[in-house]
Amino acid sequence: MVFPNLPSAAVTAVALLSTFSNALPAGLMSQVKRSDSLKFAFGSEKVRGVNLGGWFVLEPWITPSIFEATPDNVVDEYTLCQTLGATTAKNRLESHWSSFIQEGDFSEMKDFGINMVRIPIGYWSVSPLSGDPYVQGAYTFLGEALDWANAQGIKVMIDLHGAPGSQNGFDNSGRRGSIGWTQGNTVAQTITALNKIRDDHASHPAVAAIELVNEPMGPSLDMDTVRQFYMNGWGNLENSNVAVTFHDAFEGVNAWNDWGSGMWNLLLDTHHYEVFDAGSLQLSVGEHVSTACGFGGAMATNNKWTIAGEWTGAMTDCAQWLNGRGIGARYDGTYSVSGQGSSYIGDCAGKYQGTVAGLGLADHNNIKTFISAQISAFEKADGWIFWTWKNEAAPEWHFQNLTQAGLVPQPLSSASGC
């Protein structure tokens, strides 16, 4: 077998595996799921996690207050930094990084039964590229967060959420618009950032997983390039005692079973949302639940550890700017992006924007039912990480407040519905 571009240690390991795989297929195949050297017992212990979304990679809908003070063409962290300029942007972001999540959040997570946090970070915070407007400083706070998590016995997945050029064109990659990742030197630059994360943090006692890149847009990318990047990224991490986490690249939750032979400690991250297409938005609560249950069942048939690394209590896309600043909601027919419209399904006004405390009784009960069912669905496989721990004005997406208000089962092991 030839794996071009793999580091020599990985080539040796793959060669050894292929040499012995005929003699010992069962034993070696079980190394595809192998937790003895890891800091979290993936496969036997369920991941019960929250994302720290909007902390080190801004999203207008998570912290609208940062964006409301800027012109309409500021739609992501890239344009925010470009428009404010380095000094102002750095001041604004330093005050956000030091206040949005604090040490006390981790003890509350612990009280809620959370055993993992997924922390998105952009390449520009780790290994900046000249010419970018982004400002640096988040990486220092990441280091602090690892210690806060560790003090509570919570494990961390460091998630490279923004890759050079943008791997998906979403605002949450740092830069909304076109997909430039895989062009030019961007893959090599991504590997440079991942290797720095490995060298700085992989040996930290809290760091149980590193995700190679969040949500690469498989249908728009050359998947051979994505798979080669995953293989090289794995090769660089294989001796680091972290679960090498890779997103399904929107290829489907069951699309990766034939890939990854000869690699171990792979963790497949699939994201489950039922709010980003008209069909899902029209489902009844019962249909939302059965969709999630079916998805959890599909996750559980995979040959690799599989988690739902993002999911939500939302059954609408009504949260302000969820689809991007200046883009409306499909649910109430106000969505508009390059000529695509949407048809009215229901009213967003007041219902899904504001606070958890402000939800009406019916929404409160429906969201509670949906969250419990999803937890039970994803725990048919290897667990889940909710998107997101907190935000300013999107109640269905606010794990902290939803839990305080009794909409998340406590203890988490009491979840039911699938």
Residue with tokens 């991504």: 190
List the catalytic residue out of 215, 274, 379, 396.
Answer: 215
Nearer Cβ to ligand NAG (6/402):
402
Whether 178 contacts 131, CB under 8 Å? no
In angstroms and rounded to an integer, the radius of gyration of the C-alpha atoms of the chain is 21
- Residue 310 designated active-site: yes
List the catalytic residue out of 77, 238, 274, 310.
Answer: 310
Distance CA 230, CA 234 (A): 6
First and final CA of the chain: distance in angstroms? Answer: 42
* Residue 393 found at the interface with ligand NAG (CB under 6 A): yes
* Residue 318 found at the interface with ligand NAG (CB under 6 A): no
Q: Which of 395, 407, 408, 409 binds ligand NAG (CB under 6 A)?
A: 395
Largest Cα–Cα distance of the chain, in whole Å? 65
Distance CA 16, CA 125 (A): 37
| Residue 61 vs residues 17, 98, 220, 321: alpha-carbon distances, Å | 46, 19, 25, 5
Distance of CA 111 to the CA centre of its chain: 22
Whether 137 contacts 90, CB under 8 Å? yes
Nearer Cβ to ligand NAG (138/356):
356
Candidates 120-128, 222-230, 317-325, 390-398 — which segment interacts with ligand NAG by CB under 6 A?
Answer: 390-398
Number of residues that bind ligand NAG (CB under 6 A): 6
To ligand NAG, the closest distance from the beta carbon of 100 in angstroms equals: 13
To ligand NAG, the closest distance from the beta carbon of 91 in angstroms equals: 24
Whether 246 contacts 228, CB under 8 Å? no
* Residue 49 found at the interface with ligand NAG (CB under 6 A): no
- Tell me the per-residue interface mask from 344 to 363 with ligand NAG, x by CB under 6 A, - otherwise: -----------xx-------
- Residue 103 designated active-site: no
Candidates 58-66, 85-93, 115-123, 394-402 — which segment interacts with ligand NAG by CB under 6 A?
Answer: 394-402
Q: Which residues 254-293 are close enough to bind ligand NAG by CB under 6 A?
A: none
Q: Is 392 helix (H, G, I), strand (E, B) or coil?
A: coil
Distance CA 372, CA 167 (A): 32
To ligand NAG, the closest distance from the beta carbon of 331 in angstroms equals: 18
Catalytic residues: 215, 310
- Positions that interact with ligand NAG (CB under 6 A): 355-356, 393, 395, 398, 401
